[in-house]
Homo-oligomer: A and B are copies of this chain.
C-alpha cells in the first residue's frame, strides 16, 4: 500500500476545500487558535510514519483523551466497569442531560461527557493519586516523558464549565459519583487539557491498531480483548451524534475533540491523526472528517 501518495492526495484534496468550519467558542482558550492550521500524521503497525502540514504542532486534544482515561480505568477494573456506565450510542448531543435522567444517572457510554466524568470518578477511587498516575500512564504509552497538563486550558474550561458542573452533580444525585463533584471535575478538566501534535497523537493511539501493544517497543498496554472492545466503542460512539455518519463514510474506529483533532485506527494496519481547528455543526473537525473520508475511499482500507 503506497500510504504516502494516498495521504498526499487526500491532504491536497482537503486543503482545497473552501469551507473550513468554525472554531469552538465556548472555551475561551480554544477560540484563539489559528484556524488555518492543518496537519496529518499516519503511523503503520510496522513503525512507518508519514506526516504532512502542521503535523508537529501541538493542539488541545480535548475529548480524545477520554479514550485514554477509559483505557486506564478498564485496565484496572476489567468488565466490572460496565456496572457504572453503558456502551450504547447516545443519539443526542454530547452534553445532553436528558438521557442521563431517563437512565437514572447511568451514562450511555464512556465518551459522552457524563461517561467521562464517571471514568474520572473511578480513577480517583482506585488510584492513590489519579492526577499523577494518569499522566504517567499517558507519558508511558505516548513515549512523551515530559508531557504535562495544560493549566491555562484547564482553567479556561473551568471558567465556562457550568454544564459539566451541572452534569457531575446530577450524576452524583443519582449516586453514580463516589467522590466530591469538585474533585472529579478538577481531574476531568486536567484530563481534557492535554496537548499533543498529530505525530504524537497517532503514536499514542498506535496500540489500538496493534492488538493492544505499543508500536515503538511492543509493550502491552491492555489485553487484545479490551483493545477490540474500545475500538468497537470508538466506532459506535466516538463522534457524538455524528458517530453513525463517521462509521458510514469513513468506516474506522476513531475519536474527535473540540480542539479540532481526530484520531482513527485501522486495526492491524495503522493509526492516523488529523488536526484542523474549524468544526462542523456537529462539533467535529470539518476538514478532519473530510480528510479521513478521502483517505479510506482512496485506500479502500476500511474495516467494512
Contact = CB atoms under 8 A, between A and B. Distances in A.
Contacts of A233: 244, 247-248
A297 B304 CA distance: 19
Interface string A261-304: 00000010000000000000000000000000000010010111
Interface in A70-120: 86-92, 96-99, 101, 108-109
Given A91-B91, A92-B91, A170 B163 contact: yes
Interface string A227-242: 1110111011100011
Given A87-B245, A231-B304, 8 more contacts: A88-B89, A88-B244, A89-B91, A163-B173, A166-B166, A166-B167, A235-B247, A303-B303
A172 interface: yes
9 closest A-B pairs by CB: A91-B91, A89-B89, A166-B170, A88-B244, A231-B304, A166-B169, A162-B173, A163-B173, A303-B303
Contact of A101 (B87, B97, B244): B97
**Interface residue SS majority, chain A:** helix
